[in-house]
Structure 1
Amino acid sequence: MGKLGAFLRLARIEHGVMAAFATAVGCAVGAGGWFSVEMYRLALAAAVTVAVEVGLFVFNDVFNLEEDRVNAPDRPLVKGEVSLREAIALGAFSLALGGALAAALGPAPFLIAALAVLTGMAYNARLKKSGFPGNVVVALDTALPFLFGAAVASGVRIPLLAYLFTLTAFLAALGREVLKGIVDLEGDLRAGVRTVAATKGVAYAAKLSSALLLAAVSLSVAALALVKESALLAYTALVSVTDALFAYVSATLLLRSDKATAEKGRRTTLLAMFTGTLAFAAAA
């Protein structure tokens, strides 16, 4: 695919697609159901999400260029497949496009998109090595598509269920980010990244990660009270799988906080977040 393939790898387009799906779920929750979603607004919202994700990932590689020369020599910028000027132009265009399309969707979607851009750029430029504050930003930007989608469908009158799903996703993503700090401990210590595992120890990080994951489980159960009856069975089935996976990871981390256990937990939580998104989709 040549140059196009290099741009797609730089943009990590698969992350944008996953975030766009979360936005679609948010739209359905905000609209009161999938059949109530206005398709043209959903298409615009998905375009905003992909554009913002692309812009943030491109600038992540721009700011990380020197580190990637050592840790990720196969990245397009490092290999020279994409020039630094081209990357900056793509990132700036993507963020500008995302902002313009978000503004067309209304003030509430625009403000949420702006929050994602500002926090994401702060992470790229300053917060990546800060440890827990950086984890918070990554978790926030992981969860915001649900809230953004709901705002696209309902403006400022966002349903309580959308807020609950957003907070659940935030806690789960934050727990996973803390967990990843255990897996990446050796490299983070060399790079000066102040993760919870690096500053407080792996046992403390494991306990914190477990607590955050279990808090997400609790909120997902609380959401049962807000899910409409017609969707209750599907949501319960899918969220039960999600919660069982999170509970399993939490239990194993409390028993053992070594790198191998954390790596298994990292993979399992990724699966749990996927099934959790499907549960949110079913609840809409």
Structure 2
Amino acid sequence: MEKLKAYLELVRAHNLLATALGVIAGSMLVVKPLLVPALIAIITAVMIAAAGYAINDYFDIEIDKINKPERPIPSGRISPREALLLSYPLFFLAPLIALIVGIFTALFAAINSVLMYFYSRSLKRMGLIGNLVVAFSTAATLFYGALAQVEWIKEWKVLALIMPVVLMTFFLGLAREIVKGVEDYYGDKANNVRTLAVVWGPHKALKTALILTIVSIIMAIISFFTTPLSYLFLALTVSAGIASVISIAKAMKGKDPVSAAKVPRRVMKIAMFVGLIAIILDRSLSLALLGYKAEEA
């Protein structure tokens, strides 16, 4: 049981739930989501995410010995070799399993596997590039869930319609990563990590995050017109976006934007979770209503 607990900690089990929710939300953006492609997308996305977390801790062994000695690898509960033996098969098997749905779903899974590997190996230390990869991987869960459904039913035009929702998630995710860079400004500057906060300064970085958050709100509004999502989704996502904008603006006005950045970072994390729940809740209610009307007819 102790070994299992260590493995669950290694792969960030709580974050895997968020990955699954993202895929479920993406699947539900399709008018009539089907169970088989949804399950395959969820399973393979969770496999890639778990592999990514494991390989991340492998490459961060020396850093974690100092900053997070309680983590499974530096604490000795999981060996570096065990982390590799877990991550490599998951990276390899996920695209193969995704082939059950189709070649494009498998290809997208393979791209994400490669991206997660190189992010952990080197990209995460390259500042903005690392931020872009994280934002892409966050939005990719939505796109992946929808892609699996679309390839299964061969309704490719749906992908274009759901892109505003994907972009909403991408821009908010990128904004949050930039805010995290502001919060980590002093450590990143000392270690020559070229985040926007280090290159442009904390204030300009927060201003950029503010603009990106506003763009994500605009994408949410556009999504209302291009998808089956209703006023419930619109109200929840726009409210969460406005809360994020207000929190960033307050951090910008503070005397110490670096220490103040932790508040908008937390608010934006909640906003992203609210966005996923808004999609799932909105579509669940809509599908339940459609089923009720069908029974009446």
Please give the TM-score of this superposition, normalised by the length of structure 1. 0.93
Partner of residue 43, structure 2: 47
Paired with 1:139 and 1:233, the residues of 2 have a C-alpha distance of 26
C-alpha contact (below 8 Å) 1:207/1:253 kept by paired residues:
no
- 1:191-229 per-residue CA deviation (whole Å, 9 max, x = no partner) reads 32111111211111111111111110111112221243x
> Aligned runs of 1:115-154 on 2, under 5 Å?
115-154=111-150
Structure 1 residue aligned with 2:11:
11
Match of 2:72 in 1: 76
Following superposition, the deviation at residue 97 of structure 1 comes to 2.3
TM-score (norm 2): 0.89
Residue pairs, 1:178-193, within 5 angstroms: 178-193=178-193
Matches within 5 A, 1:127-276: 127-155=123-151, 156-228=156-228, 231-256=229-254, 258-276=257-275
Structure 1 or 2, whichever has the larger Rg, is 2
What SS does the corresponding residue of 2:122 show, helix, strand or coil? helix
Contact 1:146–1:162 (CA<8 Å) still a contact in 2? no
Contact 1:123–1:137 under 8 Å retained in 2: yes
Q: Which of 63, 67, 78 is the matching residue for 2:63?
A: 67
1:94-133, Cα deviation, whole Å (9 max, x unpaired):
2122122112221121122122112211211111111001
Are positions 1:278 and 2:274 aligned together?
no
Aligned residue identity for 2:145: G
1:123-178 CA-to-partner distances (Å, cap 9, x unmatched) read: 11111111001100010001101110111101244333321111110000000000
Does the Cα contact within 8 Å between 2:131 and 2:178 map onto a contact in 1?
yes
1:178-197 Cα offsets, whole Å, 9 max, x none, are 00011111221233211111
Percent identity of equivalent pairs = 27
- Tell me the distance in 1 between the aligned counterparts of 2:221 and 2:8: 38
Contact 2:95 2:107 in 1 (8 A): no
Change (3 A) 1:113 1:273: same
* DSSP 3-state at the match of 2:14: helix
Q: CA deviation at 1:283?
A: 4.6
Corresponding position of 2:293: none
Q: Distance in 1 between matches of 2:235 and 2:199?
A: 39
Q: Which runs of 5+ in 1 are unaligned?
A: none
In the comparison of the two structures, how many residue pairs are matched? 278
Q: Alpha-carbon deviation of 1:240?
A: 3.1
